[in-house]
Structure 1
Amino acid sequence: MLKPRKKTREVKVRDIGIGGNNPVRVQSMTSTSTVDIDATLRQIEELSNADCELIRIAIPDRRSLEAFREIRKQTDVPLIADIHFNYRLAIGALEAGADKIRINPGNIGDKKKVLEIIESLKQNKKAVRIGVNSGSLEIDLIDKYHGVTSQGLVESAIRWVNYFTENGFEDIVVSIKSSSVIQTIEANLELSSKIQFPIHIGVTEAGPLLPGTVKSAIALGTLLLQGVGDTIRVSLTEDPVKEVEVAWEILKSLGIRANGPLIISCPTCARTRIDLVSLVKKVEEKLKSIKYPIKVAIMGCEVNGPGEAREADIGIAAEPGKGVIFKKGKIIKRVKEEEILEVLMEEINNMVEGG
């Protein structure tokens, strides 16, 4: 059962609100070399067109920082600067126009350097994500808990949240990420019980498309069902647009948020009357441009539809040489097999235009 999302403090990133009464936000990260300004801008546009709301860019060195400065001038998309190790790059990114920075304070160095970042955040009126990661947990916490544990990850996050708030800064988003699904779930559930700041959730180093999608769906789905998570990122060794698509599918599947149609289709069996796999792919492609949140069912025989697919707003069920078009489980017309795609899309477009 889906629990109400925990109410957290609102944090603004450019014109996007995180936490508070805002919806769960979808974000991703560029995979281009940041110094390749044109390629990075192209990917930002691709991600934005895929409904990615927040885009993170790695800034590993001074050249990347200067490139980021130029990138910032050429796009209005909310940009998050991803910083590790060098506190000067964090300050430079804020001065270059980053709407938010992501740091792991544990690898920045001593607290004086983190304090300088806090002062820059105040001056520039920007937000920070304190990102704790299983691969870079502080040594004292590894020793205390005899390894990398969910308890140690939570203690690290709380430690740094307290340091920021004690120094007068509260525009904070927090994340705890692990490559372990179980550890990610345990740590974020515990973290949520202890803070009022927005939580960004994801599985780090999730892997290629299939295993990464499975890990992310389990971890993020479990947390979202428990009301935990204000922004999400699906990490895949893939085109980052795929990350965004998977993230939206997770939200749609839980009924949390939709950016377009949800397709349901049967897995096919000996009863399948048509080339369903091909039809599903064609419908999926045609629906990409539609942002209206409707449920579309594509069923291979009369067993699965319209009866089992009566929850769908619209759909088809195949019969020998023809297809049955139905809305909310009621048959509205029968068409020849070769007309199924055209007629289905006509009906969908009519529904979209009619609101």
Structure 2
Amino acid sequence: MIKRYPTKQIYVGNVPVGGDAPISVQSMTYSRTRDVKATVEQINRLHFAGCDIVRVAVPDMEDALALRSIKERISLPLVADIHFNYKLALVAAEVVDCIRINPGNIGEKSRVKDIVKACQERNIPIRIGVNAGSLEKQFDAQYGQTAEGMVASAEYNIKFLEDLGFTDIKVSLKASDVQRTVEAYRLLRPKNNYPFHLGVTEAGTKFHATVKSAIGLGTLLLDGIGDTMRVSITGELEEEINVGRAILKDSGAAGEGLNIISCPTCGRIEADLVSAVDEIERRTKHIKAPLNVSVMGCVVNAIGEAQHADVAIAYGKGSGLVMVKGEVVARLEEKELVDKFVDEVEKMAEGNE
């Protein structure tokens, strides 16, 4: 496992963030929050996809007033996303589990004081969400939309909250490109011990957002940076969670789920490897045990990879082997291999829970 930076632990509802807590995966609804039915449906979809914390936009008072009805119908911790109108945060704070503010567009510091007071009264945290595209004027004028400007904004607003006696803080530093995002988090990390929420904002459609997030979030996770995260994909819900979980697993930041090793397709393949891997992914998606499994399609790499996997299929022509910890446990026809493989994975997973 990766050694993470030690951070203060806060709670968003019943979910610990920071400290030794697992890195949580978040998402955000795209319905109008005032549409309680649609918003609850999206939150429930996220819940069943494995989301830990959900955020909703609160652009006006009608949305803020809908939060109570939403909160009563869901089980996920709820974060209210506030821009411009600080009064919406005061209403939201009565109901939600966390307030997210963008210091660049809240305005006068007296308004932030009121938000802090409301959060203190309910003992809920504040996320300082700095975006490169909406820095306060003084930081934009001095630094431009740079990583240094983002860090300066974050430090200023952290100190402002601290001076008010408020330390239940988490911080995000988002830009629409990977390089600035990574640079900003790296610059700020040694300066405080507050938990960080990771994300590349406005990342785009599924393909581009997956690539940007894998590079940016994966890089930070390998540095030991990050306590909670969101993969921002235009128009997606469950896929944000799927990609986020995959980044955590494949970066080594989370020790759960299968690491499926399968060879690239080439002219040596002697089986329908693509269909086999698709079926295995679908049938083992629920498994949380941290296992390495291998599905190899020809004799060139099959045995070598299989010997180092917890469970493996080594395909030959029309038949193959199922191996556990490098030992052959079955020689079967091709059509029988996946069933046997999944059985062995499930048995091993039960023993590792």
TM-score (structure 2 length as normaliser)? 0.96
Partner of 2:101: 103
Is the contact between residue 259 and residue 291 of structure 2 (CA under 8 Å) also seen in structure 1? yes
**Contact 2:2–2:253 (Cα < 8 Å) also in 1:** no
Change in Cα spacing, 1:255 to 1:309, as seen in structure 2 (3 Å) is farther
- In the alignment, is the contact (CA less than 8 A) between 1:295 and 1:312 conserved in 2? yes
1:167 paired to 2:164 = yes
Q: CA deviation at 1:195?
A: 1.2
TM-superposition CA deviations, 1:40-77 (whole Å, max 9, x none): 22221221222211111111112211222101011221
Question: What CA distance in whole angstroms lies between the structure 2 residues aligned with 1:47 and 1:187?
Answer: 29
Q: Structure 2 CA distance, aligned partners of 1:342 and 1:82?
A: 46
Residue 3 of structure 1 deviates from its aligned partner by: 5.3
CA deviation vs aligned residue, 1:172-208 (integer Å, no higher than 9, x gap) = 0011001111111110001101111111111001111
Provide, for residues 19-56 of structure 1, a one-character-per-residue CA deviation record: whole Å limited to 9, x for no partner: 11212111111122222222222221221222211111
2:189 aligned residue (175, 178, 192): 192
Query: Match of 2:198?
Result: 201
Alignment of 1:329-344 (within 5 A): 329-344=326-341
Alignment length, in residue pairs?
Answer: 352
Q: Kindly tell me: are residues 309 and 233 of structure 1, through their superposed partners in 2, closer, same or farther at Cα, counting changes over 3 Å?
A: farther
The whole-number CA distance in structure 2 between the counterparts of 1:306 and 1:63 is: 62
1:299 corresponds to 2:292: no
- Pick aligned residue for 1:326 from 323, 326, 335: 323
Gaps of 5+ in 2: none
User: 1:144 aligns to what?
Assistant: 142
Q: Which residue of 2 aligns with 1:63?
A: 62
Deviation at 1:309, TM superposition (A): 4.2
**Alpha-carbon distance in 1 for matches of 2:278, 2:122:** 47
CA distance in 1, matches of 2:237, 2:185: 24
SS state at 1:22 partner:
coil
The 10-residue stretch of structure 1 (255-264 or 239-248) with the greater mean CA deviation from structure 2: 255-264
Which ranges in structure 1 are unaligned for 5 or more consecutive residues?
A: none
Amino acid at match of 1:210: F
> Out of 191, 194, 216, which is 1:219 matched to?
216
The farther-off stretch of 58-67 and 217-226 is 58-67
Residue deviations 1:264-312 (CA, integer Å, cap 9, x gap): 2111100111111111111111112323332221111122223134332
Q: What is the CA distance between 1:254 and its match in structure 2?
A: 2.0
Residue pair 1:306, 1:326 contacting (<8 A) in 2 also: no
Q: Are residues 7 and 298 of structure 1, via their aligned partners in 2, closer, same or farther at CA, if it must alter by over 3 Å?
A: same
**Residue 34 of structure 1 corresponds to which residue in structure 2?**
33
Residue 17 of structure 1: aligned partner: 16
Alignment counterpart, residue 114 of structure 2, candidates 111, 116, 141: 116
Deviation at 1:87, TM superposition (A): 0.4
Hey, what's the Cα distance between the residues in 2 that align with 1:228 and 1:161? Answer: 18
* 1:129 counterpart residue number: 127
Aligned position for 1:47? 46
Query: Could you tell me which residue of structure 2 aligns to residue 88 of structure 1?
Result: 87
* 8 Å CA contact 1:178, 1:203 repeated in 2: yes
Query: Is the contact made by 1:248 and 1:258 (CA closer than 8 Å) also made in structure 2?
Result: no
Equivalence for 1:8 = 7
Structure 1 length-normalised TM: 0.95
Secondary structure of 2:93 counterpart: helix
- Equivalence for 2:73: 74
CA RMSD, Structure 1 to Structure 2 (Å): 1.5
In the alignment, the residues of structure 2 paired with residue 18 and residue 289 of structure 1 have an alpha-carbon distance, to the nearest angstrom, of 24
Query: Distance between the aligned counterparts of 1:259 and 1:245, measured in 2?
Result: 13
Q: CA-to-partner distance for each residue in 1:309-350, whole Å, 9 max, x for gaps?
A: 433211212100012111223322111011122111222222
